[in-house]
A and B are shown apart, each in its own frame.
Chain A
Amino acid sequence: MLFHTYEFLIFFAIVYAVFYFLRKYTMWYNVWLLAASYYFYGSWNWWYLTLIVYSTFLDYFCVNMMDEEYKYPRKMNWSLFGAYLAVAGIADMFAYFFFTEKFHELFEGFGASAAAAFGLSGTVWPVAIVMTAGLAVFFAATYTFHFILPPVYRAFILVTGIGERKLWLWVSIVNNLGLLGFFKYAGFFAENLNQLFTYCGWDYRMPGPEVMFTGSWKFMLPVGISFFTFQSMSYTIDFYRGQIKREDSFIRFASFVSLFPQLVAGPIERAKHLLWQLNKTPEITRVHITEGLSMFIVGLFKKLVMADFLAEYVNKVYAVPEAYTSGDLCLATFAFGWQIYCDFSGYTDMARGVARMMGFNLMLNFKNPYLATGLGDFWGRWHISLSTWFKDYVYIPLGGSRGGKWRTYFNMVVTMVVSGFWHGAGWCFLIWGALHAFGRVFTRELELTAFYDKKVPKIVKQLFIFVFVMYTWVWFRCGSIPDVDTVEYSWLITKRIFMTPWGAPESPWFTLLLCLGVWIYEYLHESRLNRVVNNGAVKIAGVIFMLILIVLFSSGENEQFIYFQF
């Protein structure tokens, strides 16, 4: 369910109406928000709901186990988790069997006689057996977790001497990264290992994750998995660091992890910023509604008018780069830079607008990144919630800037490369991250020189960073092209950009005009001429202009949000 669809409009109208009346009862509105959020997520694929529930349950459980002041018997915690694992496992196994040929293979030929023996029809009896087996697994798991695991766990703690808090922190990190690793990166690693095996002459093939999904149950990357695992994991880490207190209510914690406006593409919220908001009556005034609408309309404009329009040109050129020369490839890359910005920041604007109308504040995720004067500045303006996440949970634990210049640069490079890999499982994303990493080191050095700092005009710095960032998008864009060698593809485009004539580009002039218009608007907004764009009449005219373009441009095929794939 996408924000810019009629389905979402109806969904939100219903959710909002009920939420408005429940807002004074925090527990009830949290139940409602959780149900709505799971429905929202389930509308992509119901089976992958088990992943988000798993991640939520796991982190809730880990923090409960970490908290020395936890007041309930720990055995209850164990058995609850065991019960959950059993239910999730059974549901997944049931789905697996039911939707694959294995189910039919398993019972084929055996069905008729067994059915006759039990007096059941051929369709009912295998289901009954699976359900009975499921119940048995459920009780066995609950029993195991309740009675057997606690003493084993105690013994383990005693023998290893590991601190309980650290242990559960690692359980959370390993499980969350495990989920991410399996669903997002397993295919990439299997493919590359197989290439290595072939290169070494070993006759072994490592299967990819898709072999576990057959029949009508296809393997696909769960939407927004990188976002909700990071959000959930940050809760455990922050608790471990003593920055937040444990959340008592599972429902509230679950609605924090899955809050539908920001569930599938961020902003990646922190517990210390959002969780407490779910523990109070949200204030909904006329200001909240008008501001929410303002944000939503800007997001809608960015998505429908800018991003989807630009996407048509970008897709056309990037589908057959060898058919285009430098002019088109440069302009298509430029268009992609604006497409991804408008697509992602448009989603964030809509998410923040929806949340604002509900009385919640989500963090600012984009701050006019193409006006950045340095790469550090760029990452302080682009996907801020992810940049700060990596800063807090990767860069600072690595040592941050405390270990001298070269250690700082090393930490920066590692953080940026990991950040690149977060965006996608592919060499292109790693290279994209590395380009930004080394670019950042280079520009930081440059910024330390008096000449660059004092003499070079701001606009030159902005253009320099803009051109660099635009070039790196070549690697990012190619990273998600299926069935090609993406690195080779990126090289081909790079070579053609620099080695072919400019030619006669086929970029629609209107797209260039739109991008230029937005850039000038942002420039004015950040300048001393801010009062021009802040004038009431200009704002009204701007909204009318956006609405007209939304109507004119909304017919035709609309694209998914790019960041959903992450």
Chain B
Amino acid sequence: MSGNIDRERAADKGGEEVHEPFTFAANSVRLNAWQWVSAAAAFILLLYFTPQLWANRERFEPERDYRVPYLISSDYWHMERWTAKASREYPVVAIGDSVIWGQYVKPGETLTAYLNDLDGKKTFANLGVDGLHPAAMLGLVENYMRSVSGKGVILNLNFLWMTSREQDLTDTEPRRIQHPELLPQFFPKIKSYDAPFSERVPNVLNRYVPAFSLLNHVETVYFDNFTIRNWMIENPWKNPLDQFTAEKVAALLPANAEKMPGLAWNRDGEVRRAFDWVDPDGSFQWECFKSVVRILQARNNHVFVLVSPFNTYMMEEKSVAGYEKLVATAEEWLKANNGWFAARFEIPSETFADASHPVNSGYEIIARELMKKPAFKGWLDHVKDKGN
């Protein structure tokens, strides 16, 4: 109605309007609908097939005790590929943070390596990632570890991530968080995670468009962690295509060295520390961990939760009590919701390198203890039966 009136008024005015023919642009990129459909289809196909072609072309032949090198621990495209390969070749995968990854030990001295030695077969794959707190683990499992469905999973629970509000991500002070790409970007809101919108959206897109996470892989492995653009600025006359060499691919394989030397935490004397444990009822990380268990269960995984030992020798008495309470809560929940789990390992003080990481002898003890535990043995037999 009002539109008609307005048009009539415009017609009354007349004379002063300039109805020039529309000038498109000073180029010929003027696609019609069919040309757009063709271009979009070709581009989507390219996005879809490139990661698959790349995975086939790029040489990746990991050894038995492979772990993702520390320098590429944010390369989730590679992590996804390693997960898929491990799921095909190993009956059991171990998921967790640097305790599973092996912060102070060489690739052949990790928990999965000792378990393989004891089992005498290539049974356990190391899918540990340095700094993978439960909230990030949830993102990783949800988005990049779909291929482990139906497999046996050792899931590590490290209470390090509940030693303070900062670690638990329930404080309000914005700060750097490990693996921000894996965090929930919009819901639930994490107050200490203050990335701008322009960072959050690509983080979400990377999860659903493998070509985007492949680009991150290419930049990490072949362009020394630079964006391609920045690499060209730094290397003005080099040909970027020359970067795709066998030497660069070697970066996918781990150097046979630990990230840090594995020395006992108390070699220079024992200093006791207090931990401000977060109550599980209000803990974000504990909620995320429970979600990881539920997701894996929903994917028909046979989950064994390993509550990794914490260094109670370095704690003040009050902190030990808090820790015991946490373990009891976790045990209670796991009994009710999962059934297969192991906690309360007794390992000597000198086998800890810090609050939660064992040195190599510590891993060996845990592996032996684990293999002796009826719960673990029963679970492993169950997984092997299902696998056969």
Contact = CB atoms under 8 A, between A and B. Distances in A.
Interface range, B side: 35 or more
Interface stretch (A194-202, A477-485, A540-548): A540-548
B142 to A, nearest CB: 22
Interface string B278-300: 00000000000000000000000
B23 interface: yes
Contacts of A6: 197-198, 201
A365 B43 CA distance: 30
Contacts of A367: 26
Contacts of A297: 29
A507 B211 CA distance: 29
Contacts of B13: 245, 276
A555 B227 contact: yes
Contact of A364 (B2, B23, B31, B219): B23
B28 A533 contact: yes
Nearest to A349: B25
Given A27-B6, A279-B7, A7 B30 contact: no
Interface stretch (A33-41, A220-228, A288-296, A420-428): A288-296
Interface string B210-235: 01100110010000000111101101
B236 A27 contact: no
Interface string A180-216: 0000000000000000000000000000000000000
A313 B233 contact: yes
Given A273-B20, A352-B25, A533-B28, A5 B9 contact: no
B3 A291 contact: no
A548 B46 contact: yes
Nearest to B230: A556
A425 to B, nearest CB: 30
Given A25-B2, A556-B229, A272 B28 contact: no
A24 interface: yes
* Chain B interface, DSSP helix/strand/loop, else mixed: helix
A291 B30 contact: yes
* Chain A interface, DSSP helix/strand/loop, else mixed: helix
A507 B232 CA distance: 9
A132 interface: no
Contacts of A280: 6-7, 10
Contacts of B24: 291, 295
B42 interface: yes
Given A279-B6, A555-B215, A508 B232 contact: yes
B215 A298 contact: no
Interface string B316-332: 00000000000000000
A45 interface: no
Contacts of B202: 555
A361 B22 contact: yes
Contacts of B15: 245
Interface range, A side: 35 or more
B211 A551 contact: yes
A71 interface: no
Nearest to A299: B25
Given A243-B16, A361-B22, A540-B31, A553 B39 contact: no
Contacts of A154: none
Nearest to B25: A295
B38 interface: yes
Given A272-B16, A295-B25, A525-B28, A536 B35 contact: yes
B33 A540 contact: no
B28 A539 contact: yes
Interface centre among B13, B25, B229, B232 (most CB of A within 10 A): B25
Given A5-B198, A25-B3, A555-B227, A272 B31 contact: no
Given A27-B3, A536-B35, A540-B39, 8 more contacts: A279-B9, A286-B33, A293-B31, A294-B36, A295-B24, A364-B23, A508-B233, A540-B31
22 contacts: A7-B197, A26-B6, A27-B3, A28-B2, A243-B16, A248-B9, A272-B17, A280-B6, A290-B31, A294-B25, A294-B29, A308-B229, A367-B26, A505-B236, A508-B237, A522-B27, A533-B27, A534-B28, A542-B29, A543-B31, A551-B215, A555-B215
A-B interface, 7 closest residue pairs, ranked by CB to CB distance from nearest: A276-B17, A556-B227, A6-B201, A244-B16, A26-B6, A508-B232, A279-B10
